[in-house]
Structure 1
């Protein structure tokens, strides 16, 4: 790919899969967004919407996997965009990289904040007199993200081990939670309950309310580009990276469906659950009792912590690669690698710092924090779309890697782009009515701000110095520069 090796190849196929599986993390995603789904479409959209979204996201993952096989680098999406573009390679690469960067930073902040929120819920269950505040939640978030930063300064081998533990934590946790909800509650809903439709979004259109319900699955299925970003640290990356992406989506789809069914059929008083501050926690309390709910909540919080750790690892590699091509302020700092751990330590702390900056507004306003991190999903999926679109535009001129879709590459890519466009529009439309300062969807504003800043920076200076991915020489010259 034209770069000297600085990162060690310590990730096996399972480790590469583990990074994306940990970031998708169905326990974290479903527990964070179930309340929204209960009001936007109800059981019907939670169950059947999940199945539909899983298939669409699998198309996105397969199309991305084909690109990953052809360009297995830490730069991932922005590198592929620069290589696949026929003209204006620098511009395509620039916007893809910044959308990816902002989306990942927002994901780290959002996951850390979600974990802190559920930590607060656990504290309330343990000590009912405890009164959580936004300031306490922010402080817990800071501790979580900084701790994840410390771990990301360790060797790649330690990070790989933790990601393996994350997979088993998540799988065993799913079995325990689903099993408990299936066996312990005295009553369960009838099978037909999965077809019930509920729309309490405030919008009179059931179709619109139901479409919004698709966001539960879309919010959960983010971050699977992590396998792509870990390519330079993965053995046989041209095959194992795309396999990691697609397997993570398939296994998450199956596990997530089991969890949704278990939660939905265990709902007692629907109004009580849907109106609670943490609907999944209320389901656990009503069906299993407080003691069991506290135990299972520990499992969920652990999954969220592993999710944030994997997300930060992926974010760090993207910063490392983007800086290697001179696309970030102080690039010479961020693409340096620790001689002791062979990891981009400075890039890890930049990722931590940027995530903490996004968390700060939550000290005063949860709405302000939501407005900032709302770019997470939109930014990531738009970054996913660019290299897939450019690959489609190349058509037969695209040179695939050993893992490819063959004649299905074009139709799968079209499905992937169509879904990204639809889901991105849904994320930017109003999600509650009547609109107020607390219910307004700030995602379009956040996206416009990011694009405006990127455009101003591009026109002011970047277009003259950034031409896309840099080649350090021919294969022999690059090999002579390897430091590992």
Structure 2
């Protein structure tokens, strides 16, 4: 499909071509592959799975949950093929349903994208903090304050890159793919050949760990039906943000097929690469006591199994990968902000929907980064004796809940439309029905689990209750949902009509 044909298809959907359509199909795949980033999620949320289930939550949990996520991705690939717009899932929901569907989908998606940007950049800052500490021989203190300072610096850098170099972003997305492939391969090779001994196959595929404080050990109903599912946050968080393929579809050549293919392929290849990487972690995890002592922190594996230079090299490889990931998150988040504002849904929408002379939504980039910094402020505090703020996992949960609930609405609407749906060139055919049902049920289940307390001390009334342990994801998500529901009821339903056409007529062939 030529650029002219892409612009014509966009005009048929109601929009004139404002963003520069310079991205190749590979670049479209690259942005979601970079946002998924096995060098980010596999490292930063490893401890969540280690403490809640142990090896089986990783060795079995990762491929199991990956299959469900791939099904969600395939359902979304069909939708982006039919509707390749920057609004992505918000546009799909408003078109297949009513303005109210678009309203809730758009806000959930926007919240999720801002939260995933915050969590990725904070994770990058955390690993950068550790890397600098190691390189300076302890001269740089790896404190929470310094981690937050680096977080702000990383956010600023990502904003500047996105503002001043549209073509550079596309290039860096492509470089990011190869960095993730080569970097992960190097890490796996180090963990295979450098340690003096490894864990057994039995440990990796059958051992369980329960450091959550819930239940009476590593068995029984509480473990299998509460603790272990909490460990699945590792997979569900890592493999997310793949809707970026839709958000940059107005900048992608041949978007009806390229964006659909890029979306599901980014999930598929990340799932395979991530599983290999995580298995390498587990086989190198020979000092279980020290890993438990450090709260399941993945760095404890490297520090106990490798020489100091090799451990530092792994930290550095992951940090750079996470930097690429955060850059891609800002790109996706800003395009969603631009598209949702273009349709008048965001307060001050005229400001956020502006593009500069380089056809870049500068104001949307700045606004999203500022909000990402604000919602991460609680990460300045951590529970006594811990170096990992629960606030980080809360932001992770917000990202997962916001994004996947936003995915749920258009998938359910497509299921409801049945044969009335007009597919694009990439379609699921008759398989859409069973796949959409599976996707909807999985999203509902994980959304319930990830608003639950992560520790017993997060439950009011517990003798060890502390506010620093509270998972504030349900509070923030609940407040936002109530807020946008009230906003809709009292005001928006009278003026918000969904996507606004920016073209009066179709371009001449």
User: What is the CA–CA distance in structure 1 between the aligned matches of 2:62 and 2:294, rounded to whole Å?
Assistant: 22
The answer for the alignment partner of 1:135 in structure 2 is 145
The answer for the alignment partner of 2:438 in structure 1 is 415
Match of 1:154 among 152, 158, 164: 164
User: What is the CA–CA distance in structure 2 between the aligned matches of 1:357 and 1:108, rounded to whole Å?
Assistant: 12
- SS of the aligned residue for 2:468 comes to coil
More relative contact order, 1 or 2 (CA 8 Å, 6+ apart) = 1
State the Cα distance separating 1:278 from its structure 2 match: 6.5
The answer for the alignment partner of 2:208 in structure 1 is 197
Q: Gaps spanning 5+ residues in structure 2: where?
A: 1-12, 216-221, 383-388, 459-464
User: What is the CA–CA distance in structure 1 between the aligned matches of 2:470 and 2:372, rounded to whole Å?
Assistant: 23
Q: Provide, for residues 153-173 of structure 1, a one-character-per-residue CA deviation record: whole Å limited to 9, x for no partner.
A: 134321110100111111100
User: What is the CA–CA distance in structure 2 between the aligned matches of 1:422 and 1:373, rounded to whole Å?
Assistant: 17
Match of 1:447 among 477, 480, 484: 477
The answer for the alignment partner of 1:116 in structure 2 is 125
User: What is the CA–CA distance in structure 2 between the aligned matches of 1:14 and 1:469, rounded to whole Å?
Assistant: 28
Q: Provide, for residues 277-323 of structure 1, a one-character-per-residue CA deviation record: whole Å limited to 9, x for no partner.
A: 57221211222211111112111000111110000000010011001
Q: Gaps spanning 5+ residues in structure 1: where?
A: none
Match of 1:44 among 30, 36, 56: 56
The answer for the alignment partner of 1:344 in structure 2 is 361
Q: Provide, for residues 54-82 of structure 1, a one-character-per-residue CA deviation record: whole Å limited to 9, x for no partner.
A: 10000000001111111110000110000
Give the stretch that moved more between structures: 366-375 or 153-162: 366-375
Match of 2:190 among 180, 184, 196: 180
User: What is the CA–CA distance in structure 2 between the aligned matches of 1:27 and 1:371, rounded to whole Å?
Assistant: 20
- Report the count of equivalent residues: 474
The answer for the alignment partner of 1:399 in structure 2 is 422
Give the stretch that moved more between structures: 91-100 or 432-441: 432-441
Match of 2:350 among 324, 332, 353: 332
1:358 and 1:373 in contact (8 A); partners too: no
Runs of 4+ in 1 over 6 A off after TM superposition: none
User: What is the CA–CA distance in structure 2 between the aligned matches of 1:135 and 1:450, rounded to whole Å?
Assistant: 28
Give TM-score scaled by structure 2 length. 0.90
1:372 and 1:446 in contact (8 A); partners too: no
1:78 and 1:93 in contact (8 A); partners too: yes
The answer for the alignment partner of 1:264 in structure 2 is 282
User: What is the CA–CA distance in structure 2 between the aligned matches of 1:359 and 1:443, rounded to whole Å?
Assistant: 12
State the Cα distance separating 1:334 from its structure 2 match: 1.3
Match of 2:269 among 251, 270, 279: 251
User: What is the CA–CA distance in structure 1 between the aligned matches of 2:223 and 2:380, rounded to whole Å?
Assistant: 36
Give the stretch that moved more between structures: 330-339 or 453-462: 453-462
Give the stretch that moved more between structures: 346-355 or 466-475: 466-475
- SS of the aligned residue for 1:400 comes to coil
Give the stretch that moved more between structures: 225-234 or 130-139: 130-139
The answer for the alignment partner of 2:110 in structure 1 is 101
1:206-285 to structure 2, matched below 5 A, reads 206-207=223-224, 208-276=226-294, 279-285=297-303
2:39 and 2:180 in contact (8 A); partners too: yes
1:211 and 1:426 in contact (8 A); partners too: yes
Quick check: 1:31 aligned with 2:40?
no
1:103 and 1:378 in contact (8 A); partners too: yes
CA 1:367 to 1:203, structure 2 compared with 1: closer, same or farther past 3 Å? closer
User: What is the CA–CA distance in structure 1 between the aligned matches of 2:378 and 2:288, rounded to whole Å?
Assistant: 33
User: What is the CA–CA distance in structure 2 between the aligned matches of 1:371 and 1:199, rounded to whole Å?
Assistant: 20
- SS of the aligned residue for 2:376 comes to helix
User: What is the CA–CA distance in structure 1 between the aligned matches of 2:455 and 2:376, rounded to whole Å?
Assistant: 24
Q: Provide, for residues 401-425 of structure 1, a one-character-per-residue CA deviation record: whole Å limited to 9, x for no partner.
A: 1101001111111111111111111
The answer for the alignment partner of 1:378 in structure 2 is 401
- SS of the aligned residue for 2:80 comes to helix
State the Cα distance separating 1:200 from its structure 2 match: 2.2
User: What is the CA–CA distance in structure 1 between the aligned matches of 2:410 and 2:248, rounded to whole Å?
Assistant: 17
User: What is the CA–CA distance in structure 1 between the aligned matches of 2:469 and 2:267, rounded to whole Å?
Assistant: 31
